[in-house]
Structure 1
Amino acid sequence: MATIAENLTQVRVRIDAACRAAGRNASTVQLLAVSKTFDAQAVLAAARAGQTAFGENYLQEAVAKMAELQALAGPQAQALSWHCIGPVQSNKTRLVAEHFAWLHTLDRLKLAERLSSQRPAHLPALQVCLQVNVDGGANKSGVPPQEALALARSVAQLPGLCLRGVMSIPEPAPDCAAQYALHQRAAQVFADIRASGLPGLERFDTLSMGMTDDLEAAIAAGSTLVRVGSGIFGRRPAATAA
């Protein structure tokens, strides 16, 4: 069985190859290791292999993991960047505001306002991406593409937040061409907001899309951040925390 370090190397090889195929520099694509449901030792193994950015869905589990890593790794744990990539209930916004550097799943103004008011003054602004529902699925999170610009306009003005880009999680597609078409929808929303000239978008530079099974199509469509879990950590254990 391959180690986490070996898996990381293979994922980076895939990213490099996808960037070459798309005529892009590999330095333009960040790798986010999705560590939800994996323990602190798994994160530490990835960190020791050079990975610094980690994505989590389950907030209480994530905060406990951060504390355990601090005890295990000390200064090395301080260098890690934590990204919330799951849906956030209004009663749990404080956990995000106080413990995370990024939130990828912002899809409504009320949530943004709570995060803004709860972000501790001693921390840098919370980096946020708008989650866009490119499929139009009724049971999926995300702002409809046609409403994304209006939400961006409001979020960009909130203190304590820095609007960085757009995120999407499309439904699985049957082939690379179909994956690419879905990712292009999110890329277009990103491009439209970036070209809008809205104030407060000086650092609007992140297109968060693509996972283990579709990162090549996402990079071809312009992704600047791919979120890879099973490709690094293996089969995911059952979730134990919400």
Structure 2
Amino acid sequence: MTTDCGGAPRTVALAAAAALLVSLPLLLLVSLPDADTYEQETRRMFVEWKAKYRKTYTYAGEEECRYAVFKETRRRVARDRAAGVTSSGLNGFSATTIEEFSRGYLCLGDRTREEESYEQETRRMFVGWKAKYGETYRDAGEEECRYYLFKANRRVVVELNAAAAAAGRNVVYGLNQFGDLTNVEVQQRCYPEMEEDRDQLSARCQAAASSDPIYSRLIRYQGIL
């Protein structure tokens, strides 16, 4: 992975990626019977959060994407607090993607030429990915929000490929149809609604996962190319 933002430590990008690399079973912190209650509570928290930090969104699609990011952040914060990793809670950046945070708040100077090239390449990849999977968005705000999720997921794929190459593994990973989703969204799509089947991946998600036992649950980051 390249060095970001004019010399910012490589560990910053890796830490951001590591925060996303969570297997789907570990994300099942809320039992399915309580899912509706959790959703309602998170919606209420999002409304209160917007009021507290004076957040407004021009487009309905963008707001829904921001809610997805907020929900992902809430889940991650709860997990980290339970593990004793942090005592912090939600803040004004809770609906901001990692890529946006890195670009807007960690990059104090101009972006490097290498990072600019990476941005242009990712934009081209996003266009191709949308065409491949027939992905469309309700508005420009939603598309931009989803792009940043896609870009963050691409960085994870880059790191997976680097790790595979370093280990001498003859595999190449790439983004699949879940490339613009959060972990929580993948969980919702890939686990059946029936409680008795909640530990089984759906057929669609099985097809998206690789057969590698190490990476088989990281289905939104990869597909063997």
TM-score (normalised: structure 1): 0.24
More helix, by proportion: 2
Q: Tell me: higher relative CO, structure 1 or 2? Use CA pairs within 8 A at least 6 residues apart.
A: 2
